[in-house]
Structure 1
Amino acid sequence: MNRLTANPVIRISASSTKMAGRYASSDLINLMTKTLLPNTHAIEYAQRMNKVLDYIDQHLDTPLDLPTLAEVAHFSAFHFHRVFLAWVGETLSDYLWRRRLEIAAVHLAANAQASILEIALTVGFGSSEAFARAFKRRFGCTPSAWRTGTPQRWAEELAHTRLHHTQRNLDQRHGNPDQADAVGLLEDTGLNNLEFKMDMQVKKLPAVRVAYMRYTGPYGAGVHRFWIDTFLPWCRANGLEGAGCYGIGLDDPGVTAPAKCRYDACVEVPADFVAKSPAGIADLPGGLYAVGDFVGTVPDIHLAWTELLRNWLPSSGMQADARPCFEYYPPKAKYTQSTGVLECQIGLPVRSL
């Protein structure tokens, strides 16, 4: 239960238009596989580096030095800095700085009861002053201003999403193939009133063992293609067709650059299941979750998350907890290909205020 416990509500818009897995970048992995290394070697490198990035997210409140992380990856400390830079595209120090501040930004938005000092310590800063200086350099405002502006950012995001939906429906109605999305939002789905249809219930869920693959890049069509072209074929080849699946966005594209956003495509497996490359095994943590049924198109999951965080959470007596959000696709979940409408459950980790 120790891999996917990094960011609190980072998955919010991370889950926007989903379905995908992690590796240095799916494009980079493909390039490495075809040109530099045999497939199994490239996969081994990717899995080791993924393990390091997960370790970082789980230990942001501790000192993270190069020898420790090299040991996690089972790489030479002497060469690890260059290996990390080559695979991640950032120096280790730059990556750590970015992750600490991005996680802090999400905590500030989601956990109104936590003090700025608490959040600073949670992500590894020694004082609120040092944290405030670094935060302003990264986001252009103080932590307090970021927190105060959260409702407006979410409201603007909702307005933008609904405007996009309206334009998309007009494009479809007037037959504009260049502007209309391949998967449309039909007027009779009632998704403009989605906030009134999400019946959220707080439940205690058990931990779940999954096999997973990771995608890195902009959420949306890339995530969907990852499921269709990569993860679901792997599931079928390994006898897992029909099992429940989870989608877990590891970053918030409102905070993290789209090219650096990560997403895990997961499938439920037995405790003794041995995953074949390129997949790995992980435990999704159990505990209290706010769970609601979603019916709509893939892009509208983003709207559901925003409504959940903007409207339901503040009035629920709960706050977001530092476990991953998820989208769960039950074995018998329906999907209508002609409209793009699907069924899933969304789950937000919570604890009492």
Structure 2
Amino acid sequence: MADYKEKINSVLEYIDNQLEAGLAVTELSVLACLSKFHFHRIFVAHVGMSAGKYIRLMRFKKVSYQLVFRPRLSITDIAFSAGFESTASLSREFKSSFGSSPTQFRKSPDWSKWQELFDLQYAPVVKSLNLQQINLMRHKFNNADVKIVHFKAVRVAVKEHRGDPATVMQSVATFIKWRMREGLSPKVSATYNILYDDPDCVEPADFCMDICVQTDKAVAENADGIVVKHIPCGKCAVFRHLGCDQLLGQSFESLYSQWLPQSGEILRDYPCFLHRVNFYPDVPENQSIIDIYLPLQ
């Protein structure tokens, strides 16, 4: 059984890395070293949906993020980068699944509705996939991968998100538009998140986090609610998380329950924060890099 899980996980990783390609199911069965007569059933048994439906899910997710967070990309480029044959086929399938055309979604993204529709169709599958990946992460986490560093203070421009985690994307979209207007490209200006709360441990209305970009530029009063703060210097434990945001909780759990008790270190009275080294959808989700910082005394 473990061998089949590894085969399917290799297929999932390949799909995530090759969304722009044709991705024929026959090709995937060869990659998994499985007979085409059995590949479909094994894939469904481990993932909860057919390979074709999973590919569709991943393509829709990539398209949605690119439409909103990469406004300089044309819809034609977005369609081809996600493996759609044309903008017409993308528009038809996107509207059929999510109730709005790509152009409408780009102009006025309703992330709450998007999340609701996405969960309605795919939540059981996403949960199943996350559980599989969590089990892999538990196996991969190693205390030796946690480093102690002295973090240098950083001045940041901040979009404060306050409220339901399901609406974070709306705050991110506002932040990105402001950031682009100010010329603060991720290639030259580091991106941070300050995490005041665990979304699983507070009421949605009480959830707080900051979306930040490092800058020494003056921040004028603005309608987007961008303010200036500082991430203070000090001793920190840092762990490099590889993969999607949905699995960050598992990295935090391993840090707090496994590394911290064995380290003898004492936590400082400052929230955890993240340095986002690269970003989905610029890279596949399995190649996302996020450095997690735990402030220490």
TM-score calculated relative to the size of structure 1: 0.45
Measured after TM superposition, the shift of residue 168 of structure 1 is 11
Measured after TM superposition, the shift of residue 265 of structure 1 is 0.2
1:236 maps to what in 2? Answer: 180
Q: Note if contact 1:319-1:350 (Cα within 8 Å) is conserved in structure 2.
A: yes
In structure 2, relative to structure 1, the CA distance for the partners of 1:186 and 1:318 (3 Å cut) is: closer
Task: For 1:165-204, list aligned pairs within 5 A.
Answer: 170-172=47-49, 175=53, 177-179=121-123, 180-181=125-126, 185=130, 190-196=136-142, 199-204=145-150
Deviations 1:52-92 (A, max 9, x none): xxxxxxxxxxxxxxxxxxxxxxxxxxxxxxxxxxxxxxxxx
1:223 maps to what in 2? Answer: 168
Q: Note if contact 1:320-1:349 (Cα within 8 Å) is conserved in structure 2.
A: yes
Secondary structure class of the residue paired with 1:308: helix
Q: Which amino acid aligns with 2:255?
A: L
Secondary structure class of the residue paired with 2:259: helix
Task: For 1:64-83, list aligned pairs within 5 A.
Answer: none
Measured after TM superposition, the shift of residue 291 of structure 1 is 0.6
Q: Which amino acid aligns with 2:235?
A: L
Work out which of the residue numbers 186, 193, 218 in structure 2 matches 1:273.
Answer: 218
Q: Equivalents in 1 of 2:147, 2:154: separation in Å?
A: 19
Secondary structure class of the residue paired with 1:335: coil
Question: Does residue 1:313 correspond to 2:260, yes or no?
Answer: yes
Measured after TM superposition, the shift of residue 337 of structure 1 is 6.0
Task: For 1:123-162, list aligned pairs within 5 A.
Answer: none
Q: Equivalents in 2 of 1:337, 1:192: separation in Å?
A: 26
In structure 2, relative to structure 1, the CA distance for the partners of 1:257 and 1:246 (3 Å cut) is: same
Deviations 1:19-62 (A, max 9, x none): xxxxxxxxxxxxxxxxxxxxxxxxxxxxxxxxxxxxxxxxxxxx
Structure 1, unaligned runs of 5 or more: 1-166
1:340 maps to what in 2? Answer: 285
Question: Does residue 1:207 correspond to 2:153, yes or no?
Answer: yes
How large is the RMSD of aligned CA atoms in angstroms?
3.2
Q: Kindly, what percent of the aligned residue pairs are identical?
A: 25
Deviations 1:124-169 (A, max 9, x none): xxxxxxxxxxxxxxxxxxxxxxxxxxxxxxxxxxxxxxxxxxx996
Q: Equivalents in 2 of 1:241, 1:250: separation in Å?
A: 25
TM-score calculated relative to the size of structure 2: 0.53
Q: Note if contact 1:211-1:282 (Cα within 8 Å) is conserved in structure 2.
A: yes
2:238 maps to what in 1? Answer: 291
Q: Note if contact 1:169-1:185 (Cα within 8 Å) is conserved in structure 2.
A: no
User: Which one has more relative contact order, counting CA pairs under 8 Å at least 6 apart?
Assistant: 1
In structure 2, relative to structure 1, the CA distance for the partners of 1:217 and 1:249 (3 Å cut) is: same
Q: Equivalents in 1 of 2:145, 2:180: separation in Å?
A: 33
Q: Equivalents in 1 of 2:295, 2:265: separation in Å?
A: 10
Measured after TM superposition, the shift of residue 346 of structure 1 is 0.3
Secondary structure class of the residue paired with 2:164: coil
Q: Equivalents in 2 of 1:245, 1:192: separation in Å?
A: 27
Q: Which amino acid aligns with 1:245?
A: T
Measured after TM superposition, the shift of residue 329 of structure 1 is 1.3
Q: Which amino acid aligns with 1:301?
A: L
Deviations 1:199-247 (A, max 9, x none): 111111111000001112233x4224432x2111111111112211111
Work out which of the residue numbers 268, 271, 276 in structure 2 matches 1:329.
Answer: 276
Q: Equivalents in 2 of 1:169, 1:275: separation in Å?
A: 52
The number of aligned residues is 180
